[in-house]
Structure 1
Amino acid sequence: MRKIYYIIALLLVIFGLFSVYIYIPKEDNFAKGADEGHYLAYSKYLSENGITNYPKIFKEHVEIEKNRIWPSPLRFGYFLLSSLWLKIFGPTFRSLANLSFICYVFLLLFSLYFSNRYFGKEIASLFVLLLAFSPLAMAMAKRALSDSMGNMFIAISIWLFLSFLTEKKIFNFILFIVFYAFSILIREQYILFICFFSLYFLIYKYIYKVNIPTIYFPAIILLPLFIVGLIWVISSGSLANLIYMIKLTRVLPTINEYSVLFCRGPWFRYMIDYILISPLVTILALSFIIYVLANRSFLKDYKISYFLILFFVLYILLSIFDYNKNVRYAINLDMIMRLFAVFMLKEIFKKSKFMSDFVFMAILFLCLTDYLNFTYLFCQKNIYDPVSFVLLKVRQFIP
Structure 2
Amino acid sequence: MQTQFTDADLEKPHIQEADRVLRTCVHCGFCNATCPTYQLLGDERDGPRGRIYLMKELLESRDDDDQVTEETRLHLDRCLTCLNCETTCPSGVEYHKLLNIGRAEIERRVPRPAAERAQRYALRKMLVEPQRFKALLALGQTFKPLVPGKLRSKMPGAPVDAGQRPSTQHSRQVLMLEGCVQPGLSPNTNAATARILDRLGISVTPVSEVGCCGAIDFHLNAQQAGLARVRANIDAWWPHVEQGAEAIVQTASGCGAFVKEYGEMLKDDPDYADKAEKISALAKDIVEVLRDEPLESLDVQASQRLAFHCPCTLQHAQKLNGAVEGVLTKLGFALTPVQDAHLCCGSAGTYSITQPELATQLRDNKLNALEAGNPEMIVTANIGCQTHLAGANRTPVRHWVEIVDAALH
| Structure with the higher helix share, 1 or 2 | 1
The structure showing larger relative contact order (alpha-carbon pairs under 8 Å, at least 6 residues apart) is 1
Task: Flag whether TM exceeds 0.5 (same fold).
Answer: no
| Structure with the higher strand share, 1 or 2 | 2
